[in-house]
Amino acid sequence: MLEIKDLKVKLEDEDKQILKGVNLTVEAGKVHAIMGPNGSGKSTLSYVLSGRDGYEVTDGSATLEGEDLLDMDPEERAALGMFLAFQYPVEIPGVGNMTFLRTAVNAQRKARGEDEMSASDFLKEIRAKAKTLKIDADMLKRPVNVGFSGGEKKRNEILQMAMLEPKMCILDETDSGLDVDAMKLVAEGVNALRSEGRGFLVITHYQRLLDHIKPDVVHIMANGRIVKTGGPELALEVENNGYADILAEVA
C-alpha cells in the first residue's frame, strides 16, 4: 500500500535535516504504529506524505499503490486515497462543516472520474456516520472545528475519514488532548474503518492508544530514522522502560 524508501527530508528555509533515510512499508489491511521521542521526525513524516509546504525532499521516494506521492499536490494525494488525521485540526470560521465535507467528497470523486454524491445520499450517510461518533446535528452545521473541544475536533477528523473512505490513513497523535472516554470513542471509530483494503499508520507517544487500536507492527523512530521494528510488545516495552533503553541498544 504505502512504500517509503530511504526518505530524506530537510526544512525548506533552514539547513536542517529532519528525516535521514526512512524506510517503511505499510501493507493493505495492516495497522502500523510509529512511536518515538519528541523531535524524532514523526509529524514531519506525516506532513511530507500529505504534501504540506515547507519541506524539501532531498532523497528517496514515497509511493501509494505504486504511484509517486511526492510529486503530487495535496488534493491529488487525497483523491488517490491518502488521509491525514491532524494532530491539531484547523479551525475555519465561515465554512460550514457540512459544506466542507460535501465539497471534499465530491472533489475527490470528480478527480477520480466518479459521479458526485447527491445531496440526499450525502445527508443520509453523514447522519449515520456522525451518530456512531456521537457528533450531533449542531456540530455538523457549525463552522469547521470552530468552538469544538479537543475531543470534538478529533472525532470530527474521524468522521471525515469515514466519509472520505481513504486507502491509507495516517493518524498524527490523535490521542493527544483526549480523555479516556474520548479516546475510546475515537479508537472505536478507527477500528470500524479497519478493513482488508485499508492501511493505517498511527503516530503516538503513548501505549494507551494502542490498547484500543491494536497494531500489527510497531516502529520506534528516533533522530529521523526508524531504529527498531517489532510487534505490539515493543510498545509495551516503551511504556515500561521509556525510550532510553531502546535508543542505547541501537546506538
Binding residues vs other proteins (CB under 8 A): 50-53, 73-75, 77-79, 83-84, 86, 89-95, 99-101, 103-105, 107-108, 111, 143-144, 160, 164
Grid cell in block for residue 67: 504511484
Comparison of 139 and 234: residue with beta carbon closer to other proteins: 139
Q: CB of 37: closest distance to other proteins in angstroms? A: 25
Q: CB of 114: closest distance to other proteins in angstroms? A: 12
Comparison of 106 and 223: residue with beta carbon closer to other proteins: 106
Comparison of 95 and 236: residue with beta carbon closer to other proteins: 95
Q: CB of 86: closest distance to other proteins in angstroms? A: 7
Q: CB of 99: closest distance to other proteins in angstroms? A: 8
Q: How far apart are CA 211 and CA 192, in angstroms?
A: 15
Q: CB of 81: closest distance to other proteins in angstroms? A: 10
Comparison of 89 and 224: residue with beta carbon closer to other proteins: 89
Comparison of 54 and 242: residue with beta carbon closer to other proteins: 54
29, with CB counted inside 10 A (0-12, 13-18, 19+), is middle
